[in-house]
Amino acid sequence: MLRGGVQAVHLRDRPCRRMPHRLPCKAPLPPPFTARMRRFSSFFIRFIVIGVLLHVYVGFRLIPDLAVSPTGKWLAGLYLVLSCLLIPPGMLARMIERQPLADRLAWIGLSAMGFFSSLLVATFLRDVLLASLLTIDAIWPHVLARWRTDTAAFAVALAVAFSVIGLVNARRRARVVTIDVPIEQLPEALEGFTIVQISDIHVGPTIKNDYVNAIVDEVNRLEPDLIAVTGDVVDGSVDQLADHTRPLGRLAARHGAYFVTGNHEYYSGAHAWIDEFQRLGLHVLLNQHAVVEHESARVVVAGVTDYSAEQFDPEHRSDPAAALHGAPPDARVKILLAHQPRTALAAAQAGYTLQLSGHTHGGQFFPWNFFVRLQQPFTAGLARLDGLWVYTSRGTGYWGPPKRLGAPSEITRLRLVKGLVAAL
């Protein structure tokens, strides 16, 4: 029996062995790890260089046109310098063990990052507007000069407003979004079968125990048949964050809570977190499936490791087809938990009915939602791929800057309903 008096489920092991959970304390770092560190160092250096150049761009485009005293302009320039210096430590704060220093650096640096992102976008849009006014200025001189002053102040005000609104959106508990998923020939016993999905909480420097407790309380209030946790729960080690993920042990559903790894679990020590989530009572699916007996019907609930997991552990290569190995062929509904939406192509080929994913955050805040499609086939919401439904959550927390704008966080309640596939 599972927790809460729910029916037993049967896990089917994937057809490959698992690597040992941990390396010996003094074992040399494996070549893939050192290669990833070199790639990360190279990326981070490029990130800093590009960040400095973008700060210079904003400074030269905005500060000369601000209607403030020379002292005010010097202070504005000083802020941009501080922003350059604070953002990198904010991104690396989770690697710092000393508390509360690490969390304070994260809050300051990541907040500065979020504000600068909006300031950069506002500056770019202002330059586009000013360029379009060049013709008007040729006809009516001095118009552009007034616009330069007014739009410089407006760009700063807009960035401040977006940052404040984004902070409020990010820090409040995720809203509940209800989605009906129509399935042809759905067994009567599964009509209204409810899955609550949470994803991308990113417990870490700015998301702690209270934030997670509020999510768990709301999920339990919905009284789902099954809970799906689709990865990226953490941004840090078990030693750092175990106290803050403990509320997940209170998740309660008729058929239990199921978890799959996301890419951030692998950044944070996936094997240790797998052990921890199992200790909390979550059913961790690593290219495996469970068979859920619901009334007179059966549902196959499968889960795969993250799409990129093979880069961290070759034994964790994501394999939707292998996750169905040994599943009952008469099960009408096969649900796949897969952190990244791009698993959908393989899932459709394997014959799944519904895939639940996260990863994208819906872009999290404007304008990054427009760039998600460069990597993923879906940004957010319910979509259809051949015979497969794919639901992509916007995430239940946030990553990086404490900011959400135009992509609200969500706790998703999905209901299976009988019906023909309708236009989305």
Residue 309 contacts residue 297 (beta carbons within 8 Å): no
User: How far is it, in rounded angstroms, from Cα 297 to Cα 187?
Assistant: 7
What tokens appear for 299 in the block? 């549902």
> Residue 405 forms beta bridges with which residues?
365
> What is the reported pLDDT for 36?
62
> What is the reported pLDDT for 15?
38
Q: What percentage of residues in the chain have a pLDDT greater than 90?
A: 78
For 297-336, how does the pLDDT look when each residue is reduced to its tens digit (9 = 90+)? 999 999 999 999 999 999 999 999 999 999 998 899 999 9
For 278-299, how does the pLDDT look when each residue is reduced to its tens digit (9 = 90+)? 999 999 999 999 999 999 999 9
Residue 369 contacts residue 392 (beta carbons within 8 Å): no
Backbone angles phi, psi at 229, to 5 degrees: -110, 105
The pLDDT of 168-176, averaged and rounded, is: 97
> What is the reported pLDDT for 284?
98
Q: For the sheet containing 410-418, what is the strand order? A: 175-183, 410-418, 194-198, 226-229, 257-259, 283-284
> What is the reported pLDDT for 178?
98
For 333-352, how does the pLDDT look when each residue is reduced to its tens digit (9 = 90+)? 999 999 999 999 999 999 99
> What is the reported pLDDT for 20?
37
CA atoms within 13 A on the CB side of 26: 0
Residue 289 contacts residue 303 (beta carbons within 8 Å): yes
Backbone angles phi, psi at 293, to 5 degrees: -90, 115
For 409-424, how does the pLDDT look when each residue is reduced to its tens digit (9 = 90+)? 999 999 999 987 654 4
User: How far is it, in rounded angstroms, from Cα 205 to Cα 376?
Assistant: 27
CA atoms within 13 A on the CB side of 173: 14
> What is the reported pLDDT for 387?
92
| CB crowding 57-78: b at 16 or more within 10 Å, else e | ebbebbbebbeeeeeebeebee
> What is the reported pLDDT for 27?
40
The pLDDT of 224-245, averaged and rounded, is: 97
The pLDDT of 16-30, averaged and rounded, is: 39
> What is the reported pLDDT for 1?
37
- Looking at domain 174-418, does it have CATH number 3.30.160.100? no
> What is the reported pLDDT for 396?
98
Our CA angle for 381, 377, 318, nearest 5°, is 100
> What is the reported pLDDT for 141?
65
User: How far is it, in rounded angstroms, from Cα 157 to Cα 224?
Assistant: 43
User: How far is it, in rounded angstroms, from Cα 377 to Cα 394?
Assistant: 14
Q: What percentage of residues in the chain have a pLDDT greater than 70?
A: 88
Q: What is the mean pLDDT of the chain?
A: 90
For 136-149, how does the pLDDT look when each residue is reduced to its tens digit (9 = 90+)? 766 666 667 788 89
Residue 224 has pLDDT above 70, yes or no: yes
Question: Residue 35's pLDDT band (boundaries 50, 70, 90)?
Answer: low
For 54-102, how does the pLDDT look when each residue is reduced to its tens digit (9 = 90+)? 999 999 999 999 999 999 999 999 999 999 999 999 988 888 888 899 9
Q: For the sheet containing 333-337, what is the strand order? A: 10-12, 288-294, 297-303, 333-337, 354-357, 388-392, 381-385
Residue 5 has pLDDT above 60, yes or no: no
> What is the reported pLDDT for 322?
97
> What is the reported pLDDT for 373?
86
Question: Residue 14's pLDDT band (boundaries 50, 70, 90)?
Answer: very low
Going from N- to C-terminal start, the domains of the chain cover 31-170, 174-418
Residue 372 has pLDDT above 70, yes or no: yes
